[in-house]
Amino acid sequence: MAAVCSAPDRPLDRRAIRGRFAPSPTGPLHFGSLIAALGSFLEARQRGGEWLVRIEDVDTPRTAPGATTAILRALERYELHWDGPVIHQSQRAAYYQAALESLLDAGLAYPCACTRRELASCPRGRDGAPIYPGTCRVGPRPTDRLPALRLRVTDAPLAFQDAIQGEYRQQLVREVGDFVLRRADGVFAYQLAVVVDDAAQGVTQVVRGADLLDSTPRQIYLQRLLELPTPDYAHLPVVVDARGDKLSKQTGAPPLDERHPGPALTAALRFLGQQPPPELAGEPAPTIIAWAVAHWNLATVAPMHG
């Protein structure tokens, strides 16, 4: 497993607190992604820890040109300065491949020739993906295209304690099914890449949006199989628009105002249950961030509703 765990940059101090922000470069930073950036930054910095930025561009066809530069520039304007080099998932295929091969060698992963169409009538999991019925579990079916690779899951319930949302339980086989590690188009799945990278970067705490809460049992399951440490998890409430949809580039979220970070920064702090004094909104970003690091309290972040 050495190849999977080796750090890309520098030796890791396993005792250090280390958080991260892992945006997918599908567009510029908006108020929804600022919540994840700010929450993960403050939870790390308030505890004297490091904060890393990882660009999750594993799904190359979905990345928007210029988005990475725009995200990093916005983080700097918002005074969210990261430690060490920025890691790009598009450069790390060899590590994902090594993890995948160890799972294949152990008989834990298998090729799947099912098409999207064949799975269209399956019940859907919380993330909207079909709950895989296990069709190819018994052995490979003849196919003339590259098969996807799936992880064999068990029916043992998996539970973890989230620092904001409380206990979360999932029975993978019933609620998710054997999930994809590498898609039929050769793209490594987010679930595999995130687990390999969090371990390689020595991440000790994952603070991110609650839309990923239901991915966490899959990630913990993978960590156990790959003998990687499990970080602490805190899932922040998700910003929704008037229709109740998660704020995202796809739902038309405007990019952050880079010239006047104060209003968005203080609004983000209030959304996260903090109580910045009203006059702070007019202050420059360094003053707001200094206040936020000094006053940050994860315990006052409200769990999501619904």
Residues of this chain that bind ligand GLU (CB under 6 A): 22-24, 56, 194, 208, 212
State both tokens at 90. Answer: 């598009």
Q: Where are the alpha helices (DSSP H) in the chain?
A: 2-5, 31-46, 67-77, 93-105, 116-119, 172-175, 190-200, 216-225, 261-271, 285-295
Q: Work out how close the CB of 9 gets to ligand GLU at its nearest, in angstroms, rounded to a whole number.
A: 19
CB 90 within 8 A of CB 59: no
Q: Work out how close the CB of 134 gets to ligand GLU at its nearest, in angstroms, rounded to a whole number.
A: 26
Select 24 or 204, whichever has its Cβ closest to ligand GLU: 24
Q: Work out how close the CB of 188 gets to ligand GLU at its nearest, in angstroms, rounded to a whole number.
A: 13
Q: Work out how close the CB of 138 gets to ligand GLU at its nearest, in angstroms, rounded to a whole number.
A: 32
State both tokens at 84. Answer: 């060490």
Select 210 or 265, whichever has its Cβ closest to ligand GLU: 210
Q: Work out how close the CB of 298 gets to ligand GLU at its nearest, in angstroms, rounded to a whole number.
A: 16
Q: Work out how close the CB of 16 gets to ligand GLU at its nearest, in angstroms, rounded to a whole number.
A: 19
Distance CA 117, CA 130 (A): 11
Q: Which of 149, 209, 234 is nearest to 24 (CA)?
A: 209
Select 22 or 136, whichever has its Cβ closest to ligand GLU: 22
DSSP annotation of 64 reads P
Select 201 or 274, whichever has its Cβ closest to ligand GLU: 201
Select 58 or 136, whichever has its Cβ closest to ligand GLU: 58
CB-CB neighbours of 106 under 10 Å: 11
Residue 135 identity: T
Distance CA 257, CA 248 (A): 16
Q: Work out how close the CB of 62 gets to ligand GLU at its nearest, in angstroms, rounded to a whole number.
A: 11
CA end-to-end distance (rounded Å), the chain: 40
Distance CA 28, CA 256 (A): 8
Select 184 or 207, whichever has its Cβ closest to ligand GLU: 207
Residue 118 identity: E
Q: Work out how close the CB of 18 gets to ligand GLU at its nearest, in angstroms, rounded to a whole number.
A: 14
Calculate helix-pair angle for 93-105, 190-200, nearest 10 degrees: 110
Helix (H, G, I), strand (E, B) or coil at 241: coil
Q: Is 285 exposed, middle or buried (0-12, 13-18, 19+ CB in 10 A)?
A: middle
Distance CA 191, CA 154 (A): 17
Select 148 or 212, whichever has its Cβ closest to ligand GLU: 212
Select 57 or 283, whichever has its Cβ closest to ligand GLU: 57
